[in-house]
Amino acid sequence: MARLAQTYGLTDVQQEILATVRDFVDKEILPVATELEHRDEYPQRIVDGLKELGLFGLMIPEEYGGLGESLLTYALCVEEIARGWMSVSGIVNTHFIVAYMLRQHGTEEQKEHFLPRMALGEVRGAFSMSEPALGSDVSAITSKAVKDGDDYVLNGQKMWLTNGGTSTLVAVLVRSDEGHPRDAPPHRSMTTFLVEKEPGFGEVRPGLTVPGKIDKMGYKGVDTTELIMDGLRVPADRVLGGTTGRGFYQMMDGVEVGRVNVAARGCGVARRAFELGIRYAQQRHTFGKPIAQHQAIQFKLAEMATKVEAAHAMMVNAARKKDSGERNDLEAGMAKYLASEYCKEVVEDAFRIHGGYGFSKEYEIERLYREAPMLLIGEGTAEIQKMIIGRRLLEEYRFEG
Ligand SMILES: Cc1cc2nc3c(=O)[nH]c(=O)nc-3n(C[C@H](O)[C@H](O)[C@H](O)COP(=O)(O)OP(=O)(O)OC[C@H]3O[C@@H](n4cnc5c(N)ncnc54)[C@H](O)[C@@H]3O)c2cc1C
């Protein structure tokens, strides 16, 4: 796809990385994605290939063995990967968030201990805020850590861990009111723990159980799990950043870059849906001509392409803002909101263009149709994005009269 979703002003290195990823997607991901997805099979060969490309260390600083690239480079790679298969971008994403949180908030010992092995993809990250009774309302977390000698003892149940089974390092957000006044606001009494574990299911460490994979409508291949902590002992030096009570802010920082990532996934899936739609529209004939020659279909294609362009531009803007060191919560919220809504709409239009065949599992659009809704939920629903956007706008445009 030559014309849409171009990004101007990229360095030679960025262009080279993107060309390599695009080639990998075309050769190694697209040809097998739908088949693996239908079997809900973990794409081990693809993951091994991404490791070789250095993708797991893309944003990890060079001093820790990574490529030290920007959020923009990362987001553009994610867009390409999601164009091939969204689940693969999910495998990279939680790893990337945990590495980012370590880079921003970890102690020097924690960085040295984890980041070099994360850059190689040997240690793989998952992050865990959600619980069975909460997702949007993070302040309602009930999982708890209690200090016991040099350790903390963690109890509680977590929900919806992307890469919960395959990861070996989970950043877990729990309540820990030790050292804080009882009436402290909930977000000041939360702590992120870095929990190392074996990959797999069942008891993966004493006091820590990953029961099994959640059966999902889409986003298959990548494992999504629960996590049960029952007397899990974690040493105090595995508190992210070394100080309790900062977990909420650390996680929100991670989720903010995660939102750019989800926007990028929306861009990638929408671009693929557009490609499938415009190709099919030129192959299928009705009433004596290709359906692409009916104005109603052309209008659909025009709307789809416009949405692909707009979402890409907003995603790039949000990434560049963060890379420039500025606060980007407004831009990231807008990009995530717009890209995920547009993605759903573009996929729906491509599905309609396919007529009855869109309903057949033989056609790729059927997979995309089941994948797009996940983006409306992950890293905060549309309603949560609008809350963030609205609050920030009122800060920016405060009426002083
Ligand atoms: C496939 C998948 C993977 C996931 N991976 C992870 C992961 O790796 N780590 C992790 O921690 N979590 C993960 N999640 C959880 C995800 O972040 C939550 O599902 C999401 O934040 C929404 O929370 P909820 O499902 O509890 O919905 P709820 O918070 O219960 O919301 C239900 C509905 O109410 C709306 N709503 C809620 N509050 C308000 C409000 N104040 N005003 C208006 N509307 C409101 C929501 O927008 C939504 O429409 C994953 C979820 C899925 C489906």
Domain end position, chosen among 189, 223, 244: 244
pTM of the model: 0.96
Cα–Cα distance for residue pair 19/41, rounded to 1 Å:
27
pLDDT of 180: 60
- What per-residue confidence (pLDDT) applies to 182? 59
Pocket of ligand 1 from Cβ distances under 6 Å: 94, 127-130, 134-137, 160-162, 216, 219, 224, 374, 377-378, 380-381, 383-384
In a domain, 401, yes or no: no
Domain that residue 143 falls in: 125-244
In a domain, 5, yes or no: no
Ligand 1 atom nearest to 379, measured from its CA: 17
Q: Which of the following is catalytic: 348, 366, 371, 379?
A: 379
Arithmetic mean of pLDDT, 59-66: 97
Q: What is the CATH number of the domain that holds 155?
A: 2.40.110.10
Domain boundary among 227, 244, 261: 244
DSSP state of 231: E
3-state secondary structure at position 215: coil
- Report if residue 98 sits inside a domain: yes
* Residue 273 CA, ligand 1 centroid: distance in Å: 25
136 and 255 share one domain = no
The CATH number for 34's domain is: 1.10.540.10
pLDDT at 147 over 80: yes
- The phi and psi torsions of 173 (rounded to 5 degrees) equal -95, 125
- Residue ending a domain, among 209, 244, 279, is 244
Q: Higher confidence at residue 188 or residue 366?
A: 366
Nearby residues of 245 by Cβ (< 8 Å), 6 or more positions away = 176, 179, 180, 184, 188, 189, 190, 191
Q: pLDDT value at position 179? A: 61
- Among 222, 201, 204, 225, residue whose Cα is nearest residue 213: 225
The three-state secondary structure class of 123 is coil
Q: Phi-psi region for residue 30, left (φ > 0), alpha (ψ -120 to 50) or beta?
A: alpha
Compute the radius of gyration of the chain from its Cα atoms.
21
Confidence of residue 318 (pLDDT cuts 50, 70, 90): very high
| 349 located within any domain | yes
The whole-angstrom separation of Cα 250 and Cα 257 is 11
The rounded percent of the chain whose pLDDT value lies above 90 is: 95
Mutate to test the pocket of ligand 1, among 381, 384, 391 (most ligand atoms within 8 A of CB): 381
DSSP, residue by residue, 150-184: TEEEEEEEEEEEETTTT-SEEEEEEE--TTS-TTS
Give yes or no for residue 390 having a pLDDT over 60.
Answer: yes
pLDDT tens-digit series, residues 165-193: 999 999 999 999 776 655 677 778 999 99
Number of domains in the chain: 3
